Structure 1
Amino acid sequence: MVAVIKTAAGVTNAIHYNENKLKQGTALLIHSSNFAKTTEHLGFTDKLRTLEKLMALNERTKLNGVHISLNFDPSEKILVPQLQKIADSYMQQIGFGNQPYLVYQHHDAGHPHIHIVTTNIQWDGTRIKMQNIGRNQSEKARLQIERDFGLVKAQSKQKQAEMIKPVNVQKVQYGKSDTRRAITSVLDAVLPVYKYASLPELNAVLKLYNIKADRGAEHSRLFDNRGLLYRVLTNKGEYAGIPIKASQIYNKPTLDYLEHRFVENQQSKQGHQVRVKNAIDLYFKTNRTHSMDDLMQTLQKGGIHIILRQNESGMIYGITYVDHHTKCVFNGSDLGKAYSAKQVQERCDPFAHLHSEDAPQLKHANEKINPNATAIQGEIKEQAVAISLKEITNALLTIEQELGLAAELKSEEARRKKKKLRHS
């Protein structure tokens, strides 16, 4: 079993998220605890108001919403009564046994899992401390529950990562499905799982699914009002169809929500840079010839996507790495100078600085690999070498001419001295 605990400002988004799954038929409300009504008689207002009433007792605590997922091995077939007992046991062991909480069973992934929504504000207005709760109370509860219920153990980090993979969503194809529903499916899979610390980093992941989060141009009304749109992209990266406002999406992935995630993710992705750096270094050490296309293909086989940022003329000015194993997103500068866009290009092509105007040849590097790319780069290198040899030849001729002139001057000076000595 793997437990994932998330905190947020309020419970509205978490409840909307799970209730939307109910509407879609991919989830069931299987249990509740410490509510005035039984589970089957709870309406949406009952769920929300009970939790909000508690949160109102402590206005100083900003992160008062708690959203937990308990994930089980794909091989396990756990019946609802057992899931109810597991949820109660877990909540009791982490100190939330007296809190009102809702338990939803989800059916939208390759492994069994439940979601629990609650608050850390207690009936007396005090808060349950969340610091290190995942590493301490939750980890102890996980081990105990695995023993008590005979569950498959998830000791290794690799095993835990496999068990909490997001649903295998497909690229959004404009016109083939409802735009809002398609965007929501991707956001549900990406936002809670990947560790992105800025909008460009998030967009590096979303681009893989033909989606972009857009704040609009700086100083525009959308930008100044802190609005956010989600747009569908074509395979060429162009906008398609009408954008959807973040506020119109069920789980409300607004700028405020994302900025809160940015802060959390900045800390949680620390220490995961090494895997990406090692993969890049290994490529350059074990391959005689290098190219950006080949580097991208090689890393992708290891679960790392390279996203190139290019201007309108195709010039590469930035690089982002998306590691699907650790779910971390890094800008090249996060990893160090050697992994920046400029340095990686030069490591792939030592002559890159001599023909930067030819960078448009890499314009479609994020799409299907151009079979002629290697030949094109070879021609560019030959041209660059020819230019370099010409410059060297000219320089040598200039030096030779200067040396010849210097020798003539030296001979002339010697003749003058010799003549002067004879006359004296």
Structure 2
Amino acid sequence: MVAIIKTGNSIHSILNYNENKVKAEKAQCIHAVNYPLKLENLSFNLKLNRFLKLAELNENAKRNTVHISLNFDPSEKHSKEKLIEIADTYMEKIGFGKQPYLVYQHFDAGHPHLHVVTNNIQRDGKRIDLHLLGIRKSEPARKEIEKHFGLVKAEDRKNKQHVTLQPIDSRKIEYGKAESKKAINGVLNKVLNEYKYSSLPELNAILNMYNVHADRGTEDSRVFKNKGLLYKILDKNSKPIGVPIKASDFYNKPTLKFLEEKFKTNDINKQSQKSQLKNAINLAFFDKKIYSPEQLALKLQKDGIHVVFRKSKEGQLYGITYVDHRTQCVFNGSSLGKEYSAKAIQERCESCKTSQKHFNLYENLERLKTEMNSQTTFNPTLINNFLDALLKGEFVDNSYTPKELKQKKRTRRRKL
């Protein structure tokens, strides 16, 4: 089971989101706790007013709304009664057992999941502390519930997932309509919460794998000047297609302001994962058979690392980004160190290519020695190939003379 907690200050929007799912027959409200009436007698306004009256008891609280999703493995098929029992147990363990809350069962994803709507203002006006709620209470509760109800553990589910991300099939999306928005929203929910990125290009390195792109527009555009952000669907040629959707139109509001806060936090949290990625890159070069950046990308892909190249219109490589699915961290090449930038990677590939040429020359020399020492006739082709390689400019370069062999120039004294 995976539990995701989000907090806010608008209970109306969160309740409206779930109720709209019910109207569209993509969800069902299955449980209402600490309400004076039974679930079947609760209208939208009765559900809303219960939360609003509690919020009025503490108007100083900046965040008074809690929206929780409990996600189960696709292989699990639980009855409605069991889902209600799991939700009640979870809410009790995280300290919200006495709060009013509504439980919605959603049917719009490939895995079973619940949404729980509540607030953190108690009847005495005091608020329930939301700081680090996930680490302090949710994680221990999740593990106990997994064990008690025999659920698929979140750690086991994560290990089973393949590291290669599957891009959205753009042919199935109705551009400019609700389906396009739904598809983009599904990608954002996964990427924004699970990966650590510290810039918009790093975020796009992941989103583009799903055929989604976050765009600020050109510098002279109204979107850019107003610090707006658009999300676009990409076609198979990585070109935008369909109608862009404003960040503010999504329920979770993945705006530029929201992302900039993420950038700061992620930049700190992902620093400890640098060494693991650098070791993987260095290890890839260890066998000396990486002759191009593309070969490096193929080798790292087997280890769960996706490499994104940025090239000019002329095809010249000028940037490189690494998406490490093992640690779910994204790094621009230069942020790892100079030796991992696009220029340095190209130089390391050229170095591997040169080393291989030298090795081939050495092998030919050894074979030539063996043949000359044997009683058999010489192979003229082998000798000619060896001499051609030996006499190439790169091996007969007289432009460099070791310092020790350089003769000191004699300075002549001018006669007065």
What TM-score do you get using the length of structure 1 for normalisation?
0.72
* Shift in CA distance, 289/333, structure 1 to aligned 2, threshold 3 Å: closer
- SS at 2:291's partner residue? coil
2:195 maps to 194
- SS at 2:194's partner residue? coil
- Contact 1:90/1:145 (8 A) holds in 2: yes
Distance 2:19 2:287 in 1: 51
| Cα distance per residue 1:104-129 (max 9 Å; x no partner) | 22344554332223233333333222
- Contact 2:197/2:267 (8 A) holds in 1: yes
Distance 2:339 2:48 in 1: 50
My pick for the range that moved more, 172-181 or 62-71, is 172-181
1:91 maps to 91
Distance 1:49 1:251 in 2: 23
Q: Which runs of 5+ in 2 are unaligned?
A: 354-391
2:175 maps to 178
1:210 maps to 211
* Shift in CA distance, 257/104, structure 1 to aligned 2, threshold 3 Å: farther
- SS at 2:307's partner residue? strand
How far 1:81 moved relative to its partner? 0.8
How far 1:46 moved relative to its partner? 4.7
1:134 maps to 134
- Contact 1:16/1:250 (8 A) holds in 2: no
Letter in 1 for 2:180: A
Q: Which runs of 5+ in 1 are unaligned?
A: 353-385, 414-424
1:362 maps to none
1:324-339 matches, within 5 Å, as 324-339=325-340
How far 1:69 moved relative to its partner? 2.6
- Contact 1:231/1:240 (8 A) holds in 2: yes
Distance 1:129 1:165 in 2: 37
- Contact 2:289/2:352 (8 A) holds in 1: no
1:227-306 matches, within 5 Å, as 227-306=228-307
| Cα distance per residue 1:91-112 (max 9 Å; x no partner) | 1111111222222223445543
Distance 1:211 1:160 in 2: 25
How far 1:219 moved relative to its partner? 4.8
- SS at 1:349's partner residue? helix
RMSD (CA atoms): 3.9
- Contact 1:103/1:114 (8 A) holds in 2: yes
Distance 1:215 1:117 in 2: 33
1:372 maps to none
- Contact 1:17/1:251 (8 A) holds in 2: no
* Shift in CA distance, 84/209, structure 1 to aligned 2, threshold 3 Å: same
| Cα distance per residue 1:199-240 (max 9 Å; x no partner) | 222211111122211122235321222222112223333332
1:369 maps to none
How far 1:388 moved relative to its partner? 6.8
2:316 maps to 315
- Contact 2:292/2:350 (8 A) holds in 1: yes
| Cα distance per residue 1:144-191 (max 9 Å; x no partner) | 32344343455xx4x25358999x864252685234423432332333
- SS at 1:318's partner residue? strand
* Shift in CA distance, 112/247, structure 1 to aligned 2, threshold 3 Å: same
Distance 1:264 1:20 in 2: 33
How far 1:83 moved relative to its partner? 0.9
- Contact 1:93/1:141 (8 A) holds in 2: yes
1:333-352 matches, within 5 Å, as 333-350=334-351
Letter in 2 for 1:99: Q
How many equivalent residue pairs? Answer: 369
- Contact 1:174/1:241 (8 A) holds in 2: no
